[in-house]
Amino acid sequence: MTVFETDRLVVRQWTESDTDVARVFDMLSRWEVARWLGAQPRVLETEDEALAAIRRWRGRASADGLHGVWAVDVRDTGTTAGSVLVVPLPGVDSEPSADIEVGWHLHPDSWGHGYATESAAVAIERVFAAGLPEIYAVIREGNTPSTAVARRLGMSPIGIQRRWYGGIELDTYRLAANDR
């Protein structure tokens, strides 16, 4: 199911297909990707874990289609570049907060093509069109490529925050609807 499209990308729901499971496993079994994700980063060790990740992501989808963790497909090649997401940030206690996150994680073979920026820009526009006043990106210290994406999206750094993902330190970027 397509969530939205850009000139180069089709953003859709992840499926439990063998192709999607294999791609998620290939992406998240790599430390260069997994090291930046979640409260306690770790690589996936089996395709069953990839399937479980897809099921968790599908469970984060909102009924109105505004929130979710979605696959980003490159229109010309059909390659799944990775994910873009818009979800409530999990608070220190792991319960969803009122703060909304935009995020991305791509397979290394899709780095450097602008797919994260392109898909996240449309995801952000959808949030603002729905009337939400602001959105955050939270980035582990040292993830220079993701910091560059946040800046290209027009997000402003607000410093290290510890109020999400169990209280870990995260470089935080914010964009308000009226900042655009």
Residue 62, in any domain of the structure: yes
CATH classification at residue 67: 3.40.630.30
Assign 34 a pLDDT band (cuts: 50, 70, 90).
very high
Tokens of 83: 């994910």
Assign 96 a pLDDT band (cuts: 50, 70, 90).
confident
- Please tell me the predicted confidence (pLDDT) of residue 171: 96
Residue 10, in any domain of the structure: yes
Domain count across the chain: 1
- Please tell me the predicted confidence (pLDDT) of residue 166: 85
Residue 177, in any domain of the structure: no
pLDDT > 80? residue 177: yes
The domain in which residue 90 lies consists of 2-132
Who has greater pLDDT, 40 or 24?
Answer: 24
The tens digit of pLDDT for each residue in 36-82 reads 998 789 999 999 999 999 999 999 999 899 999 999 999 999 999 99
176: phi then psi, degrees, rounded to nearest 5 = -100, 150
Average pLDDT over residues 139-166: 95
Residue 95 to residue 103: CA distance in whole angstroms:
18
Q: Considering only CA atoms, which of 16, 36, 10, 51 is closest in space to residue 142? A: 36
